[in-house]
Each structure stands twice: as structure tokens, then as C-alpha cells.
């Protein structure tokens, strides 16, 4: 009616521009808080989005990014999630500024923003996740254990519904960030540019000579030349296993192919188990600093 009053109460129905505003806020905070780790919260934001999603079990439909149950114990205390409080705390002021977004959608938007702002491919996004309470926490053990080998990787990722090619494409995320002795116990970055997404992870896997690191920590590899890079046992499994290695070689040779496949598979990861509205469309956000 004419004076703007409406018979039905107005509910705020956020649209693309509203989510772009949240994206912009995350991007500007990434730029601003550049004294963390290697100069960016980007990698740990990607890890938060991955661990929120990677609990999915296709048989029972439990887990996945719909719920943000890592806010609660026991999930927040699972060994795999050590250190992710840094990412959750980073996003807390964003949630305060845009209280209408669910934690579940915000954590995934954080991952999308971090990947794009770290010069990765476009990651199409759609909202629709609802927060759930502690009762929806997943049991421990759903995320991969870095000390294991290819059988374990297949068990874990097949449970989410991924195939061998997708396992290798997802693993390229290890171009980003590092291991922390006070989190996983492992130590060091995988690449020389841990705040920029490239296919360097695959190139280094193939091109460097890797040897066991001699130390008191958990078993990990170091590059023979500089001893400043690392690989986990699960990373090395990707070149030790013939089927995985085929894809490592493809992605090492072709960054464009890696970007295309990485974008597709991370969208799939981020949407596992999410009950999107039937007509929901995906959006691509404009980058801010990239």
C-alpha cells in the first residue's frame, strides 16, 4: 500500500549484494590483519571451511557445512580441529556486523573469499545453510589423519562421495598455509608462496627430492634441497599411488586445469549435505584485493 506499511511483516531476505557486502568485509579484514602467520588469515579460513564440510557422510546424510557444529564441544575439541579457533574468532566481528547470515553460510563464504583473494579461481557460492546445535556434532574421526596412506584417504573421501581425481584436486589446497607444531604437531609450509593459490604443490611433489625429516615430531617429509618445505605422509601417498599420481602429473603440468577442477570440487565439498532451496542459484563474488 501507499504509505509503505504492509499487512505482512517485512522479513529481511538478503540478496547477492548483501552477501557481496559480507565478502567485502572479510576481504578487507584479510588485508588489514596481515601480521598473522605468513601474512594472511586466508589459509586458516580455507581450512575452517574444509573441516566444517569434510565431516559429511553420504550414507547417513550427517555432517557437512550445514550446521557449523564446530562451534560446540566435542567437535571443537576434536584433534583435527586444533587451531581453527583462530579462524572462527577472525569471522566473529563479521557475524556481529551482519547478524542475519548464519555461521554455516559465513564459514563457507570465508573459505570462498580467502581462495579468491589469494588469487585462486572463482568459487561460485550459494547460501542456504542453517545453524544447528551441539546435538548435531559429528563423531571424531571423520577427517583425514595425515600419518596414514592411500587406503585411508580413499576411505575418508569416498565416504563424502568423492573419487580419486577429486581427492587429488582437493589436495592442491596444500599450496596454502602451513603446519603448526602446536596444532597438528607437524611443522612447516608445503610451498614457497603459502598465501597464493597455485599448482606449486603438485610441481614440488614431483620435482623435489623428499626425505624423512629427522626430528622428535610426527613422521613427515622435508625437501632435500632447502629443508624448508614439508610433505605429510598423506601428501606423499598421492605420488606413491599410481591412480593418484596420474592426476598429480596433470595438475602439475596445467594450472588452468587445476583451477577448473579445484573450483568444481570445492563447490561440491562446500555444498555436501546442504538442503538448498530448489531454485537457488550460485553467485560469483567480485574480488576486492585480488
Which residues have a catalytic role annotated? Answer: 51, 190
CB of 59 to ligand ZEM, least distance (A): 20
Taking the complex as a whole, the smallest distance from the CB of residue 262 to ligand ZEM amounts, in Å, to 8
> Is the CB of 5 or the CB of 241 nearer to ligand ZEM?
241
Contact status, residue 188 vs residue 226, Cβ threshold 8 Å: no
Q: What is the 3-state secondary structure (H, E, C) of 5-65?
A: CCCCCCCCCCCHHHHHHHHHHHHHHHHHCCCCCCCCCHHHHHHHHHHHHCCCECCCCECCC
The Cα 290–Cα 268 span in angstroms is 23
| Closest by Cα among 112, 128, 108 to 120 | 112
Least gap, CB of 18 to ligand ZEM (angstroms):
26
In angstroms, the CA 90 to CA 127 distance is: 20
CB-facing half-sphere around the CA of 142: CA atoms within 13 A:
23
How far apart CA 71 and CA 77 sit, in angstroms, is: 10
> How far is the C-alpha of 158 from the C-alpha of 171, rounded, in Å?
14
Say which residues have a Cβ less than 8 Å from residue 77's Cβ, sequence separation at least 6: none
CB of 44 to ligand ZEM, least distance (A): 4
Q: How many CB atoms lie within 10 A of CB 33?
A: 12
What are residue 262's phi and psi, to 5 degrees? -65, -45
Q: Which is nearer to ligand ZEM, 29 or 183 (CB)?
A: 183
Nearest one of 16, 100, 94, 106 to 52, comparing CA atoms: 106
Contact positions vs ligand ZEM (CB under 6 A): 43-44, 46-47, 50, 83, 144, 146, 153, 170-171, 173-174, 176-180, 183-184, 186, 232, 234, 266
Q: Give yes or no for a contact between 213 and 222, defined as CB atoms under 8 angstroms apart.
A: yes
Of 65, 73, 114, which is closest to residue 94 (Cα–Cα)?
Answer: 114
Residue 114 in contact with residue 195, Cβ under 8 Å?
A: no
Smallest gap from residue 146 Cβ to ligand ZEM (A): 3
In the complex, minimum distance from the CB of residue 94 to ligand ZEM, in angstroms, rounded to a whole number? 18
Amino acid at each position: 500500500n501507499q504509505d509503505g506499511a504492509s499487512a505482512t511483516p517485512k522479513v529481511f531476505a538478503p540478496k547477492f549484494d548483501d552477501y557481496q557486502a559480507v565478502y567485502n568485509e572479510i576481504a578487507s579484514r584479510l588485508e588489514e590483519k596481515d601480521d598473522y602467520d605468513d601474512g594472511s588469515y586466508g589459509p586458516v579460513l580455507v581450512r575452517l571451511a574444509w573441516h566444517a564440510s569434510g565431516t559429511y557422510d553420504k550414507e547417513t546424510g550427517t555432517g557437512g557445512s550445514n550446521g557449523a557444529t564446530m562451534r560446540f564441544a566435542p567437535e571443537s575439541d576434536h584433534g583435527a580441529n586444533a587451531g581453527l579457533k583462530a579462524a572462527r574468532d577472525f569471522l566473529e566481528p563479521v557475524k556481529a556486523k551482519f547478524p542475519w547470515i548464519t555461521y554455516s553460510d559465513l564459514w563457507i563464504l570465508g573459505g570462498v573469499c580467502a581462495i579468491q583473494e589469494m588469487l585462486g579461481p572463482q568459487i561460485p557460492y550459494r547460501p542456504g545453510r542453517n545453524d544447528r546445535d551441539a546435538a548435531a556434532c559429528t563423531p571424531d574421526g571423520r577427517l583425514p589423519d595425515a600419518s596414514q596412506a592411500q587406503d585411508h584417504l580413499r576411505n575418508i573421501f569416498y565416504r563424502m562421495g568423492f573419487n580419486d581425481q577429486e581427492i587429488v584436486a582437493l589436495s592442491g589446497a596444500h599450496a596454502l598455509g602451513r603446519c603448526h607444531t602446536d596444532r597438528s604437531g607437524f611443522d612447516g609450509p608445503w610451498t614457497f608462496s603459502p598465501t597464493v593459490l597455485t599448482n606449486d604443490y603438485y610441481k614440488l611433489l614431483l620435482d623435489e627430492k623428499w626425505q624423512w625429516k629427522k626430528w622428535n615430531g610426527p613422521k613427515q617429509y622435508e625437501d632435500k634441497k632447502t629443508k624448508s618445505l614439508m610433505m605429510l605422509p598423506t601428501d606423499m601417498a598421492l605420488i606413491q599411488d599410481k591412480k593418484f599420481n596420474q592426476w598429480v602429473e596433470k595438475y602439475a603440468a596445467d594450472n588452468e586445469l587445476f583451477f577448473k577442477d579445484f573450483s568444481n570440487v570445492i563447490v561440491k565439498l562446500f555444498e555436501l549435505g546442504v538442503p538448498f532451496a530448489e531454485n537457488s542459484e550460485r553467485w560469483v563474488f567480485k574480488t576486492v584485493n585480488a
